[in-house]
Every structure is written in C-alpha cells, then in structure tokens.
C-alpha cells in the first residue's frame, strides 16, 4: 500500500501519479481527510492524557495535605476526562481501520519510467524476436490449433477433463503430460544458479492474499475455501511474498531470490466466451515463479535480470515473441512497472501473454510488513519486491506444439527439452 505519510506530505505528487493510471482519486481524497481527522483526534487524546497525568499528581498532593474534598473533586474530573479519552481512542481505532481499508484498495504509484496510456493498445513494444504474425512466415501445418494437435496425438484430453471438473479445466496425457512437466523442470533448472527453490503451500490465509494485493480487490477471481477461510493461490507470488512477512531481513541478505513450482488456481470471472477454448484461459495450471526481495537501489537491476531470465527460456524454446512495456493504464494494481512477454501461437493466430515481470516498489512489502536493516544502522526500511513468471505451462505448451508441428503431424521437440523426454526428440501419435 502507499505510505500514508507520503499522502500527508506530498499529496499533489501522489495524486498526479495515480491520475496517470486513469482511475478515480476519490479514495485518495478520503484517506487525506481521514488522516487530518485522525491527527486532530490524536492531538486531543494526547492532551487529555497529559491532563489526566497532571491531575493524578495533584490528587496525590491534595491527599497528603488532607484536602480530601478537593482531591475527590479532582478525581471526578479525571474520570470524566478518562471517559472522553476512551471515546477518542475508539474513534482513533475506527478511523485507522477505515484508512487502512481505503489504502488496501488504492493501487500502487506507477514508475516514472512506465509509459503513459489508457489501455493495452497503448503498451510499448520494445523488441520482437522471430517472424511474429507475418502470415507468410508460417506453413499450413503450423496453422493448426493446439487443441486439434493435442487430440490427434493423444496428448491433450479436454473432454474428460471437463467431465471430471467442468469447463476450463484441462488434462495432459502421455507425452503431453511429459511436456508439461518438462517445461517446469527446465525453468527450475535454468534458474537454479541464483534462486532458492521453495515448495510453498497452495492454500493460504487471507492475510497472505492481502499482502500481494490480490485481496480485497480481486476476491471474485480467487477460489475461496469458505469452511476453513483459506484461499487457493492464483500464483506462487502469493506465498513467496509472505515468506518474510512481519520479519526484518539483514541488508547483507539482499537481494534474496526465490523460485517455486506450484499449481495455480483462477476463477477467471467474467471470461465466459473469451479465449476459453483449449489452453488459452484455464482454471488450474502449473507455473514456475521467480521472486526477489531487494533494497530500493537494487530493484532496477533485478527487474532487468528477471526479465532476461524469463525471455531467455522463451528464446530457448524457439518461440516467436515480443516484449511489451505496459502503460500506466494497463498496469496491475500492485505494480509500479511491468514488462510482459507474449508469444505468437500460429495455430490460433494470436499473441499470448506468457509472463509478466513486475517491480512492486515497496507497495507489497508495506502491506506484508517486510523490512530490512542495513549493516551498522539502527533503523529499518521497507523492502522492495519483484517477481515474474519464469514459465507458465498452458500457453507455452500451446505455442510449442503449434510452432514446432511438422508436415507429417508430429511435433519436433526443442533441443532444450530433450533431456526431460527419456531419449525422445519428437512427439508422435501412438500406433
């Protein structure tokens, strides 16, 4: 969340930054008004406390002097002040809770470097690798959608997945399941030189979801286990961010790099009829996430590193792709700056987002109370968090089988996947 002290001392700059996102400033204005009231009430409360302390000393002196009636009158005055102090304390708690709730709904301030824009069409393409969506660059046998390829090869069984779990669930079989697992293992191996592998829980507490900004704003997109008040994670970003929640890290430990492979669950509310065929939009999928805690001055370099790592995997898989610098109007709620990687899938003739690599400044860490202490200094600072999809299976799986489909219907496996396929270098239909 945004630091309320910044709203107090530099409101115009905060308002101008949020205005770049194109949303309403009503909640920000409410926070400012509540903060003014809170400081006024706190001032009155502190004044009353001071008066009560002074009266207490006076009562003691009066009793020592035998002036009992005056002492009792002062005590009555003290009790009345105490009742008022309690009223003010309750009011302070109420205003504090209302302020925090508003802050939890206000998005992060975009980076000065994020391009201005209102929607996805304003995102800036910073590079493209491969032929892209040039129709002449793709053969007819690559223009087959992955759901047809998967059915022909017996590696994707959507019909039975729907029978088991309903629409927008998927099931890989045979070499399709191996491909799913291979993609994840490739991503873990690729990043094992610098990132600690973690296997976190896939259901988490409400506070854990709040820490990343997924709650309260995006509750409708998450799976809630109401009986236990637990949430199925939409991404490993959620538990990894809370790994250090309410902790103070040593500055020498930063940057701290973590990675995790987990199942991810998303309700995809409001997506009916929109890119829901095949693997384009699903309720459950496997993904490898990379995440880092950092000091503020380390963030820019780490952001570039996470992007390079995610993009290098897509390059190694031989996929046409582009990198987009998201405009302020298309940024995620918690993000200060985000780069998206999109692959071109020739079978569905679409650019598919496969990775978002984001810098959250101190927005998430403030919600999660993640601090660090610099060597030789007494105070602490709020850390910065960054994360990215090292590799999310469904759309990458789709792009791989469409891009590398051969004229005879087989799929030639990218060389980087060969070690995970038990000596096979292609996927063919079973006889």
Sheet holding 381-382, edge to edge: 248-250, 371-373, 381-382
Strand pairing category for 256-265 and 196-197: parallel
Do 282 and 377 share a domain, yes or no? yes
- Structural domain contains residue 113: no
User: Could you confirm whether 64 is annotated as catalytic?
Assistant: no
Q: Which two tokens stand for residue 327?
A: 């405009």
Do 149 and 82 share a domain, yes or no? no
pLDDT of residue 278: 95
The pTM of the full predicted model, rounded to 2 decimals, is: 0.93
Do 145 and 69 share a domain, yes or no? no
3-state class (DSSP) for residue 343: strand
Do 187 and 70 share a domain, yes or no? no
Across 304-321, average pLDDT: 98
Report the alpha-carbon distance of residue 35 to residue 26 in Å, rounded: 14
User: 28 burial class (0-12, 13-18, 19+ CB within 10 angstroms)?
Assistant: buried
State which residues form the domain around 339: 120-427
Report the alpha-carbon distance of residue 341 to residue 363 in Å, rounded: 23
pLDDT of residue 414: 98
pLDDT band at residue 59 under the 50/70/90 scheme: confident
- Structural domain contains residue 291: yes
Residue 340's CB is within 10 A of a number of other CB atoms, namely 24
State the average pLDDT for the chain: 95
Q: Which two tokens stand for residue 210?
A: 């709040």
Q: 20: domain CATH number?
A: 1.10.287.40
pLDDT band at residue 97 under the 50/70/90 scheme: very high
- Structural domain contains residue 132: yes
- Residues sharing a CB contact under 8 Å with residue 368, sequence separation 6 or more, in sequence order: 211, 212, 241, 242, 244, 245, 246
CB 325 within 8 A of CB 341: no
User: Could you confirm whether 274 is annotated as catalytic?
Assistant: no
pLDDT tens for each residue of 368-390: 999 999 999 999 999 999 999 99
- Structural domain contains residue 359: yes
List the catalytic residue out of 78, 111, 242, 356. Answer: 356
Supply φ then ψ for residue 250, to 5 degrees. -85, 135
pLDDT tens for each residue of 415-429: 999 999 999 999 999
- Beta-bridge mates of residue 127: 323
User: Could you confirm whether 271 is annotated as catalytic?
Assistant: no
List the catalytic residue out of 67, 84, 100, 281. Answer: 281
pLDDT of residue 68: 83
pLDDT of residue 238: 98
Give the CA radius of gyration of the chain: 28
Across 196-206, average pLDDT: 98
pLDDT tens for each residue of 225-260: 999 999 999 999 999 999 999 999 999 999 999 999
Do 258 and 302 share a domain, yes or no? yes
List the catalytic residue out of 27, 29, 247, 353. Answer: 353
Do 94 and 161 share a domain, yes or no? no
Q: 192: domain CATH number?
A: 3.30.930.10
User: Could you confirm whether 422 is annotated as catalytic?
Assistant: no
CB 264 within 8 A of CB 287: yes
* Res. 273: pLDDT tops 60: no
- Structural domain contains residue 277: yes
Phi-psi region of 342 (alpha: psi -120 to 50; beta: other; left: phi over 0): beta
Torsion of CA 182, 285, 326, 208, to 10 degrees: -120
Report the alpha-carbon distance of residue 13 to residue 149 in Å, rounded: 53
Do 82 and 144 share a domain, yes or no? no
Do 101 and 32 share a domain, yes or no? yes
* Res. 51: pLDDT tops 80: yes
Q: Which of 76, 105, 134 is the last residue of a domain?
A: 105
- Structural domain contains residue 11: yes
List the catalytic residue out of 45, 266, 366, 405. Answer: 266
Do 204 and 69 share a domain, yes or no? no
Q: Which of 78, 105, 132 is the last residue of a domain?
A: 105
Do 221 and 339 share a domain, yes or no? yes
Do 44 and 154 share a domain, yes or no? no
Across 319-333, average pLDDT: 98
Beta strand residue intervals within 266-380, DSSP E: 284-294, 321-325, 337-345, 350-359, 371-373
pLDDT band at residue 296 under the 50/70/90 scheme: very high
Do 229 and 324 share a domain, yes or no? yes
402 to each of 186, 320, 348, how far by Cα in Å?
Answer: 19, 11, 8
Instruction: Please tell me the total count of domains within the chain.
Output: 2
């Amino acid at each position: 969340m945004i630091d309320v002290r910044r709203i107090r001392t530099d409101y115009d700059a905060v308002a101008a930054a949020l205005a770049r996102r194109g949303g309403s400033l009503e909640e920000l204005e409410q926070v400012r008004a509540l903060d003014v009231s809170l400081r006024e009430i706190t001032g009155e409360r502190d004044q009353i406390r001071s008066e009560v302390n002074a009266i207490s000393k006076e009562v003691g002196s009066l009793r020592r002097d035998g002036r009992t009636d005056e002492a009792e009158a002062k005590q009555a005055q003290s009790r009345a002040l105490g009742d008022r102090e309690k009223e003010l304390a309750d009011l302070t708690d109420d205003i504090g809770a209302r302020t925090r709730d508003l802050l939890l709904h206000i998005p992060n301030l975009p980076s000065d470097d994020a391009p201005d824009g209102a929607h996805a069409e304003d995102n800036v393409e910073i590079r493209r690798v491969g032929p892209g969506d040039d129709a002449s660059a793709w053969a007819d046998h690559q223009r087959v959608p992955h759901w047809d390829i998967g059915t022909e090869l017996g590696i994707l069984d959507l019909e039975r997945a729907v029978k088991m779990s309903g629409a927008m669930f998927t099931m890989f079989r045979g070499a399709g399941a191996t491909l799913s697992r291979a993609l994840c293992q490739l991503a873990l191996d690729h990043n094992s030189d610098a990132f600690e592998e973690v296997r976190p829980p896939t259901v988490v507490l409400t506070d854990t979801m709040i820490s990343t900004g997924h709650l309260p704003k995006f509750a409708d997109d998450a799976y809630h286990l109401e009986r236990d008040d637990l949430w199925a994670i939409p991404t490993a970003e959620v538990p990894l961010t809370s790994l250090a929640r309410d902790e103070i890290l040593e500055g020498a430990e930063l940057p701290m790099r973590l990675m995790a492979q987990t199942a991810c669950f998303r309700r995809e509310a409001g997506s009916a009829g929109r890119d829901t065929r095949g693997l384009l939009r699903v309720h459950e999928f496997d993904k490898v996430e990379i995440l880092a805690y950092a000091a503020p001055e380390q963030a820019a370099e780490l952001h570039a590193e996470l992007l390079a790592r995610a993009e290098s995997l897509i390059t190694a898989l031989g996929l046409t792709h582009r990198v987009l610098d998201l405009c302020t109007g298309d940024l995620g709620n918690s993000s200060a700056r985000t780069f998206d990687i999109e692959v071109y899938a020739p079978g569905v003739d679409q650019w598919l987002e496969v990775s978002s690599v984001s810098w959250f400044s101190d927005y998430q860490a403030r919600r999660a109370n993640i601090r660090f202490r610099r060597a030789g200094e007494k105070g602490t600072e709020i850390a910065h968090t960054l994360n990215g999809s090292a590799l999310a299976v469904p759309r990458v799986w789709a792009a791989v089988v469409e891009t590398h489909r051969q004229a005879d219907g087989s799929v030639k496996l990218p060389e980087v996947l060969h070690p995970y396929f038990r000596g096979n270098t292609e996927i063919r239909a079973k006889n």
